[in-house]
Structure 1
């Protein structure tokens, strides 16, 4: 090992490349291992999607500083890119025109990480041992050693199944040819698969909402197209978001547009529909909720499962992780993002302190750090890796410093109950320090000796 710390970064998505930029800026040596054939491989799977955050929130500052000498033209900060534009105008130049091009190893899938000479059970001297990262490429097994590891491999390729209990529905593997996960391009590359058919969409997040809106537009072009919304919960309005209260305007507009389509009857809605069984029915797909006898069912040609994602920890089994047992996020971060408690869509900025584990030098960041929680924003990841790079470099003051102000979602919930007071603007943004406070106003009131601001 040389004097400059080598930092292994797993994943060359937006947050992974930002991590490499911050590591490089700190005088350390990043090595980025990307499983796909190109940087931004996961983002390339949803190129048709327009982001609901404008360019000003999608470009990392250290990455922009790397790009500046290349003649890169910064996009208009207030405009909204598609994922394809994010790749063409930001990720691709960052990965190919800056010094990061020497650090990225594509088609390199990480298979295991440990400490040199240490299994998980051995403690004495562990902190001084470098990490050993094993990965596969076209040449066969490879080994990399590094003083620190940042895992930003994301969750896109490990989607949640259709089953309501976290397991695949009975028959789900057998019906895989009729199922898509995430957000298929129903009006573009996948149009032939969906046009003129009955398409069921399971989920209540932005991926489900966006797909259903696209299916309504497809139905305008091909009238036989019939979108069906399968909702596990009882209240469709929870998917509509904060509307004009949302500080990310495009996100609010998405929810408002969706609400109007549902109200107009453009989308068939099946509430309290927890999928349990999938089976063939006269060449189509029977989607059942409940026990076989007397189960409710929907007959469709295709099913899109947009029920979120979960992290893959299979290659981290020899590391000492501290994960919340329910959310599967780092234990210090989990209370801030637990969807059982609140769904503000934002969380107070956080960094190395909240993302560290009992394995010094190892960090989870990006979407993977949120475990099964659905509220991650790209700009949150940029702040995470800025702090982590500072921590690895030994700049504890910079690591602890907050350099990000997140936009408010406009509608928050706590304990599963929506707060009208928060929606009307009493939030003041997320709490800065007190994880038991639902918002800044609540935190301030509690510090003053009151029971809270009343919005929780």
Structure 2
């Protein structure tokens, strides 16, 4: 091949940003999108307002591509909904720039391998191009590429209700009463939830936002009763950093939720690890423990907001290097492992942390975080900027940090709660993955054990 061809799986915000950076580096991107349009996953949560303003949601290389088209850059301080992100940024980028010729929609990737090499064969492997197989409604198609960036995300692979990673007993048989993620309870789903008792399982932003929407729905339609099912024992962990959060909308979300819980407008069931789902006189019985004993609640609808997980089914012939616990690249995993910390802000990282044993293959965006729940869109933009530089052979640019992230407020590291205000300990570390902040990084570089904050 005369110039490097890079296949990009997924045409969401990070996938399109990857294509823009690859193109700027003189390489040829081909974007394969499973849905009928770019940003199709966003269409599923278009009612949700982002807690990051426009300034953090537009990739720089993408903005440079949009500038000659007459695109009106949104107010950088305004907070878009998913629909506004789609209409004001994703659609123009996918249809009004040269990327439109490089995006293949309704093209679902079914497998990726190396031409002439199965997973076990090594000698000469790195020189062989990738073979990407996909389906587009016309039969199987094959694409060859020098490199692959998988930005397919996790949206269509939600975690189940069971606390052990498996569906609760009876979950698969009751799909008509169960929704996943963050359904539009006040809009498209209004008739389904209005006037009903609705349980929401989870403790992340999707669960919090859905419960807040259900309270608003209850104010509009009497008889609507939100029930929060929390696996843990402490509801306060879902309230976030409040005014310490440098993303104001994220902090306000937690504060507003805390006030609603305190007011009694949301019924709270703590230590509720759902094990069984069954019918109960035309309603849904959600139980902890055996189906005939233990605690239970009876509701009309259940919303499972317990996060998402990546799909590796089409990557089985590639040599992946993944953390065994959270399914993220092994170098990235310590930065985002929820067993160690719950910070919503993770220091910028790139090709170095996203590398696999399969040369030329990278995961980026939400999928790179595996089962960790802390991803920010701007983190994905920094990832693909670095990856494109690495593929172009610019190792210096690939290693350089070109992003400053807002602090999350209050988080836990190693089980200890700590304030992470912008001035505290100098902000996040720049390079060392073992450091918890800039001061800790400097101390370790000087030969000390650390700054002591962690």
Relative to the length of structure 2, the TM-score reads: 0.98
Gaps of 5+ in 1: none
Corresponding residue number in structure 2 for 1:142: 141
- Higher alpha-carbon deviation: 44-53 or 395-404: 395-404
Corresponding residue number in structure 2 for 1:439: 437
Corresponding residue number in structure 2 for 1:89: 88
Corresponding residue number in structure 2 for 1:361: 360
Separation in 2 of the partners of 1:429 and 1:43? 31
Corresponding residue number in structure 2 for 1:158: 157
For residues 39-58 of structure 1, what are the alpha-carbon distances to aligned partners after superposition, in whole Å with 9 as ceiling and x for unaligned?
A: 00101100000000000000
Tell me, what secondary structure is at the counterpart of 2:51? coil
The alpha-carbon distance between structure 1 residues 424 and 27, as it changes in their structure 2 partners (threshold 3 A), is closer
1:181-192 paired onto structure 2 within 5 Å:
181-192=180-191
Separation in 1 of the partners of 2:199 and 2:232? 16
- Higher alpha-carbon deviation: 258-267 or 437-446: 437-446
Separation in 1 of the partners of 2:224 and 2:310? 34
C-alpha deviation, 1:428, in angstroms:
2.7
Relative to the length of structure 1, the TM-score reads: 0.98
- Are the counterparts in 2 of residues 412 and 423 from structure 1 also a CA contact under 8 Å? no
For residues 81-110 of structure 1, what are the alpha-carbon distances to aligned partners after superposition, in whole Å with 9 as ceiling and x for unaligned?
A: 001000000000000000000000000000
For residues 300-359 of structure 1, what are the alpha-carbon distances to aligned partners after superposition, in whole Å with 9 as ceiling and x for unaligned?
A: 000000000000000000000000000100000001110000111111111111111111
Separation in 1 of the partners of 2:283 and 2:292? 20
Corresponding residue number in structure 2 for 1:452: 450
Corresponding residue number in structure 2 for 1:212: 211
C-alpha deviation, 1:452, in angstroms:
3.4
Corresponding residue number in structure 2 for 1:404: 403
Tell me, what secondary structure is at the counterpart of 1:261? helix
Separation in 2 of the partners of 1:213 and 1:153? 29
Q: Over the residues paired in the alignment, what is the CA RMSD in angstroms? A: 1.2
Corresponding residue number in structure 2 for 1:55: 54
C-alpha deviation, 1:454, in angstroms:
3.5
- Are the counterparts in 2 of residues 194 and 302 from structure 1 also a CA contact under 8 Å? yes
For residues 100-149 of structure 1, what are the alpha-carbon distances to aligned partners after superposition, in whole Å with 9 as ceiling and x for unaligned?
A: 00000000000000000000000111001000000001111000000000
Gaps of 5+ in 2: none
Corresponding residue number in structure 1 for 2:22: 23
1:323-362 paired onto structure 2 within 5 Å:
323-362=322-361
1:95-244 paired onto structure 2 within 5 Å:
95-244=94-243
Is it true that 1:64 corresponds to 2:60 in the alignment? no
- Are the counterparts in 1 of residues 420 and 427 from structure 2 also a CA contact under 8 Å? no
Separation in 2 of the partners of 1:430 and 1:423? 10
1:279-358 paired onto structure 2 within 5 Å:
279-358=278-357
Q: What is the aligned residue count?
A: 454
Separation in 2 of the partners of 1:139 and 1:334? 39
Tell me, what secondary structure is at the counterpart of 1:441? helix
The alpha-carbon distance between structure 1 residues 424 and 289, as it changes in their structure 2 partners (threshold 3 A), is farther
- Are the counterparts in 2 of residues 242 and 423 from structure 1 also a CA contact under 8 Å? no
